[in-house]
Amino acid sequence: MKKWVWIVIAIIATIAIVAAALLLREDVNDKPVIKIGTILPITGGAAGLGAYAHHGTVLAVEHANKNPGNKYRYVLVSENTESNINRVPAIYNKLVKVDRVRALISIDSGAGQIIKPLAARDRITHISSAANNDIADGEFNFVNSTDMDESTRRIADWFASRGWKRVAFAGTEYPAAVIILGHLEPELTRRGIKVVAREMVAVGHTNLQAEIANIMRAKPDVVFLYAIEPHLSLFGRDLRRAGYAGMISGLYTIAYAEYPEFLNGAIWLDYPSGDDGFKEVYLARFGHSPNPASAGMYDNINILVRMFEGAGSVAAGVAGHTGVFGEMQLRRGGRLIHNTLSFFEMKNGKPVRIEVKE
């Protein structure tokens, strides 16, 4: 083979090696890259939660990378569970072993519980915005949510202040529902409030005729609804069609209804959707208003950025940092990032923050 051919081959090989090295290093403007992975239900029944959460992470990473003082450039690697937690182990392995993420964010109690031992094993920082406070454990697993004991006490106190004595549970059989109802029922019992119906249905079960009939026969003062779509809107619609005139209440999920007009008049405990500045920037970026999941994920990214930029830990990243939810509190030895919730009422298809007597 002619000498020049060998020279061309050598040059091509050199270029390939340099390009590969640059890709592995992934530096831009001499800033090393840190990858943050997200495991979210961007489609499927929980998409009202996951898709908005994804937008919150995108916005936070964009804002972080605009800060010239940061030491690192941040890359978001987003994965979609399709509202199926059985997909979580494979997604986790891809993010950690292939994409080489340095931290992970999840939003579902079922997903968070699966990730918890894996993150501890692989020493990957994991923040879960989930109802299950027990995910907050050890050196690597944190929860950015609310103290579930405190939040369910507040709901039970409110029910008691209204003189309600009969509660029906309704919604989707989902890991978070088990956690929330498990905390709420003892609080109700201590206040002399009886659970008179339990109509939690499997994902995919959409004919609620029997469940609605059982609730109506039980004559509850209030229906506590914890569901993902389509059950959120279906329960709201079918309860009203059956003539139920009592209160519909809940924790978190009512804000994510695809057809919120079916839940007009419902009052529930939830996070805000962020401060006014966040709402304005989010609306300009995505063309629609944020919901609480958007704000929570934005805060999670910012906590991780503060950690990587020098705080050294998630707890230190929270310290002195006010998120778009407002003031954060560290509990459970700094593993639980507690956000105080507010009461909201669905008015004309929109959540409106209100004051209630608890």
Rounded to whole angstroms, what are the CA distances from 52 to 59, 183, 340?
11, 27, 21
What does the pLDDT read at residue 26? 45
What value does the mean pLDDT take over residues 197-225? 97
Instruction: Please name the residues in contact with 240: beta carbons below 8 A apart, sequence gap of 6 or more.
Output: 262
User: 160: pLDDT confidence band, cut at 50, 70 and 90?
Assistant: very high
Return d(Cα 50, Cα 318) in angstroms, integer.
23
Average pLDDT of every residue of the chain? 90
pLDDT digits (tens, 9 = 90+) for 88-131: 999 999 999 999 999 999 998 999 999 999 999 999 999 999 99
What does the pLDDT read at residue 14? 35
Rounded to whole angstroms, what are the CA distances from 8 to 2, 17, 21, 118, 331?
10, 14, 20, 47, 62
Q: Is the peptide bond before 230 cis (omega within 30 degrees of 0)?
A: yes
Structure tokens at 151: 């939040």
Sheet holding 166-172, edge to edge: 194-201, 166-172, 222-226, 247-249
pLDDT digits (tens, 9 = 90+) for 317-354: 898 778 887 788 899 889 999 988 999 999 999 999 99
Q: Is the pTM of this model over 0.95?
A: no
